[in-house]
Amino acid sequence: MTTVLGQNQYGKAENRVVRITRDGDTHHIKDLNVSVALSGDMDDVHYSGSNANVLPTDTTKNTVFAFAKEYGIESAEQFGIHLARHFVTSQEPIKRARIRVEEYSWERIDTSEDNSRFIGSDEVRHSFVRKGQETRTAQITFDGQRWEVLTGLKDLTVLNSTSSEFWGYVKDKYTTLKEDYDRILATDVTAWWRHNWTSDEERMPNWERSYAQARKHILQAFAETYSLSLQQTLYQMGSRVINSRPEIDEIRFSLPNKHHFLVDLEPFDLKNDREVYFAADRPYGLIEATVLRDGAQARIPFDMTNL
């Protein structure tokens, strides 16, 4: 039986790099998990074991840390761009680089009021607590000519305690779910969005502002949509981002429906007036879809939301 080598890549995954920027007594922190994947003229290493075209994965790890010092970390996207450009332009056998980044957010410890007794005023500028919200994500791909930048987030948990209904659905002999005209709607948002910037570095988006604004529009749409289905809410979230951010052409969501069921308190002679719920973690409904700018083509892989 004859075999041939298919698509392949290699690199160093999950390089945890923390960069502290000291602006006098005020410190700033960037905390990233960076994965590097390289591809190109790699047939020989698979067929014969020749490493002549192989840049060691240990070298890619070292590059991540060196670049954190040399370039700093302005944003997850910009840091990925520096790395991808370096690997493709410095190593002739490498034709394509893909950099994936997770960013973990920190915020300054609040030392106001009673806490000020324990932490001096000069310490607040370099004391941090890890944010318990979403993880920011990014994927940067470069082939020597064109860029593809995907930005995203995961584990952004949101809940509306009202303004959501679910009724009028198909019913068969296995249907037991009752129609609901005032329910809790909750989900963990995972999203990726694609920027239409591909080459002109003078017109590169402001990555930090773009992320903050896209996140804001996702949250605003979730809060302001009177929802008759999670699908409707998803579409409104995506539409708000596309219509508000001209640099974004496509956004893909994966939204698990975090079910909340009213607890039956009648056996205890208690009336449950939509006050006490059971939060079921599984099984759960899973709603996934892509929202596109009119005329744009879908390019975000379906399984990106599982990363």
* Catalytic residue numbers, as ranges: 12, 57, 259
DSSP code, position 173 = T
CA distance linking residue 212 with residue 215, whole number of Å:
5
Using alpha carbons, select from 72, 91, 140, 99 the residue that is nearest to residue 11: 99
Question: How far is residue 246's CA from residue 228's CA, in Å, rounded to a whole number?
Answer: 28
Residue 202 C-alpha from the chain's centroid: 25
Bridge-based pairing of strands 94-104 and 135-142 is antiparallel
Give CA–CA dist 36/47, Å, rounded: 23
Tokens of 243: 């219509």
Any binding-site annotation on 135? Answer: no
Q: Give the whole-angstrom CA distance, residue 287 versus residue 152.
A: 17
Residue 282, marked binder: no
Whether 25 has a binding-site annotation, put simply, is no
Is 166 part of any known ligand binding site?
yes
Select from 70, 73, 8 the least CA-distant residue to 34. 73
Long-range contacts of 223-232 (CB under 8 A, 24+ apart): 223/160, 225/163, 226/163, 226/164, 227/160, 227/163, 227/164, 227/165, 227/185, 228/164, 228/165, 228/166, 229/166, 230/185, 230/187, 230/255, 230/257, 230/285, 230/287, 231/287, 231/289
Known binding-site residue numbers for 5-hydroxyisourate: 57, 166, 183, 231, 257
Known binding-site residue numbers for O2: 57, 257
Known binding-site residue numbers: 57-58, 166, 183, 231, 257
